[in-house]
């Protein structure tokens, strides 16, 4: 207790880190389940179904499998770099999340003012770029240290791809910053309060729709996702830079990819979509949207529990229905609306962008590598430059 009273800031930070790690690691596990369900639906398949109700225990089964699977280390690898690469990738991906705020600057939790961010900084955006840029080293180390031609080719592809697409990504971010005139992610969201027409994606004097699209395209390439997953092209490179990895080392690369997806989706939410602000003011009923969504989900689940033909679903659907109705009731409590409503809107916007990642994976084919590099240098980079120039001119003209 003496340590707690003498170092309250450190204790609060450690509690935040523990909660954030639990939530993020759980989200990473269930993003794999959700993606497999989405792609299965697009391709008319079932996806995970038998391990637990509706396959909800599949991530646990996958984790146990990775944990107990034999960890094979090829004999000719550089062992230090080989072991360091996957955990460096995961550590960097998790560190960037510490700078992302998910709610207002300060809220009251049990009467105590609390920030909904692990580490607040007035230059958080610059720190995010500095930390995330180190992630390329993990991929290059993995490709080089494996001492095999396929991982080496994957590492080289990834490094060229990430460096190339960082340029239009940075230019796409710079444009909305001209509108908000701040590098603080908290202040960036504050300048977008007031409804959807104040969000940077639609805000005058020059709506940042082009910046938003450029950012998303570059984010797909930065996270090595379809259609820009050339570093992992199985028809050319087997699995690319992580082909020689197994067990938890492979799982670390897998988790880092999904963690980077969460990071870029959160950044898009903060930069362009108003962060944790509602699309319209609370006076017009925006605070009742989560209540209606969860209540409707609960009613639908209860209905399917009555109408279903499968014996297992007669139990699981009513349970989910009751849970959804309980969550809807929680959103009606005034004591938690201060922090729960902003958290809902932030998670809803970020979740919608994550769904877009999965939707694209199930619909678009992979590009050739020359098409990938030509697209960024011949089209995306010039368009991003032009968009930034026009935004700067209009902001200077109307300011």
Query: Which DSSP state fits 241?
Result: G
Q: pLDDT (tens digit, 9 = 90+) per residue, 21-66?
A: 899 999 999 999 999 999 999 888 888 888 888 888 899 998 888 8
Task: Assess contact for 239 and 139: CB atoms under 8 A.
Answer: no
Let me know if 253 is exposed, middle or buried by CB neighbors in 10 A (0-12, 13-18, 19+). Answer: buried
Is-above-0.75 flag for pTM? yes
Q: Say which residue the tokens 């197994």 belong to.
A: 246
Give the dihedral sign, CA 113/16/274/177: positive
With 70 as the cut, is the pLDDT of residue 262 above it?
Answer: yes
- Say what the alpha-carbon torsion angle 100, 247, 22, 226 is, to the nearest 10 degrees: 40
Q: pLDDT (tens digit, 9 = 90+) per residue, 82-91?
A: 889 888 989 9
- Cα–Cα distance for residue pair 287/289, rounded to 1 Å: 6
Mean pLDDT of all residues in 182-201: 91
With 80 as the cut, is the pLDDT of residue 125 above it?
Answer: yes
Q: Token digits for 371?
A: 């098409």
- The candidate with the shortest Cα–Cα distance to 125, out of 191, 182, 179, 183, is 183
> b/e map of 43-66 (b: 16 or more CB within 10 Å)?
eeeebbeeeeebbeebbeebeeeb
Task: Give the mean pLDDT of the chain.
Answer: 86
Phi, psi of 114, deg, nearest 5: -135, 140
How many CB atoms are closer than 10 A to CB 114? 15
SS (HEC) of 290-313: HHHHHHHHHHHHHHHHHHCCCCCH
- The candidate with the shortest Cα–Cα distance to 171, out of 398, 397, 383, is 383
């Amino acid at each position: 207790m003496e340590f707690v009273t003498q170092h309250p800031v450190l204790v609060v930070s450690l509690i935040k880190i523990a909660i954030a790690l639990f939530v993020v690691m759980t989200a990473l596990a269930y993003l794999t389940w959700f993606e497999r369900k989405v792609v299965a639906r697009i391709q008319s398949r079932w996806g995970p179904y038998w391990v637990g109700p509706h396959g909800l225990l599949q991530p646990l089964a996958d984790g146990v499998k990775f944990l107990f699977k034999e960890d094979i280390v090829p004999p000719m690898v550089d062992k230090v770099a080989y072991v360091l690469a996957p955990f460096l990738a995961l550590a960097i991906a998790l560190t960037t999340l510490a700078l992302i705020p998910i709610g207002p600057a300060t809220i009251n939790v049990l009467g105590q003012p609390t920030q909904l961010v692990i580490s607040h900084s007035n230059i958080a955006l610059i720190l995010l770029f500095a930390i995330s840029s180190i992630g390329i080293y993990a991929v290059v180390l993995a490709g080089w240290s494996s001492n095999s031609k396929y991982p080496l080719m994957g590492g080289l592809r990834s490094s060229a791809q990430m460096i190339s697409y960082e340029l239009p990504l940075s230019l796409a971010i710079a444009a909305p910053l001209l509108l908000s005139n701040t590098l603080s992610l908290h202040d960036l969201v504050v300048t977008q309060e007031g409804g959807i027409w104040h969000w940077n994606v639609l805000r005058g004097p020059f709506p940042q729709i082009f910046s938003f699209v450029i950012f998303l395209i570059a984010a797909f390439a930065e996270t090595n996702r379809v259609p820009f997953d050339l570093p992992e092209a199985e028809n050319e490179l087997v699995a690319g830079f992580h082909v020689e990895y197994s067990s938890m080392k492979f799982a670390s690369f897998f988790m880092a990819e999904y963690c980077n997806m969460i990071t870029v989706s959160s950044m898009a939410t903060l930069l362009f979509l108003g962060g944790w602000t509602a699309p319209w003011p609370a006076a017009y009923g925006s605070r009742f949207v989560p209540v209606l969504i969860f209540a409707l989900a609960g009613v639908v689940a209860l209905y399917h529990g009555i109408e279903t033909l499968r014996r297992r679903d007669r139990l699981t659907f009513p349970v989910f229905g009751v849970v959804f109705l309980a969550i809807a009731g929680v959103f009606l409590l005034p004591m938690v609306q201060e922090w729960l409503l902003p958290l809902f809107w932030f998670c809803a916007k970020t979740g919608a962008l994550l769904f877009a990642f999965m939707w694209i994976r199930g619909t678009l084919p992979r590009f050739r590598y020359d098409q990938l590099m030509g697209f960024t240098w011949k089209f995306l980079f010039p368009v991003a430059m032009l968009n930034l120039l026009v935004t700067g001119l209009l902001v200077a003209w109307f300011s």
